[in-house]
A = this chain, B = another copy of it.
Amino acid sequence: MKSDALRGHLDALLLATLDDGELHGYAIIEALQRRSGGALDLPTGTVYPALRRLERAGHVASEWSTVAGRKRRTYRLTGAGRRALSDERAAWREFTTAIEGVLGGGPWPEQA
């Protein structure tokens, strides 16, 4: 998968991943792999900064915990995050509709 393709859609992915319950960063990456059928394998250098961006924006909140001696920062959606996710899903539908209108192909009707 071309790497730039993701641009502008990463936030939606992260928020959607947290929609099923709180997760820590590493687990988010694994969830993305699983749910995308292996197509998405995001590097930590992409995900961690993005999570902090989302936290600054108030869309997620985090708490530290320690599990089996390892520190984890567990993220969960905030109310604003849930609304943002809803907006992102709508934006995704608009986006794909627009692109598919073009890619969809076939000869196009002249404007009536």
| Contact (Cβ within 8 A) B98 A92 | no
Cα distance, A2 to B9, chains bound together (Å): 10
| Contact (Cβ within 8 A) B2 A102 | no
Number of copies: 2
Contacts of A94 in B (CB 8 A): 1, 39
Main secondary structure of the interface of A (DSSP, over half): helix
Contacts of A8 in B (CB 8 A): 2-7
Interface locus among A30-38, A53-61, A63-71 = A30-38
Interface locus among A10-18, A43-51, A73-81 = A10-18
| Contact (Cβ within 8 A) A102 B20 | no
Cα distance, A37 to B20, chains bound together (Å): 34
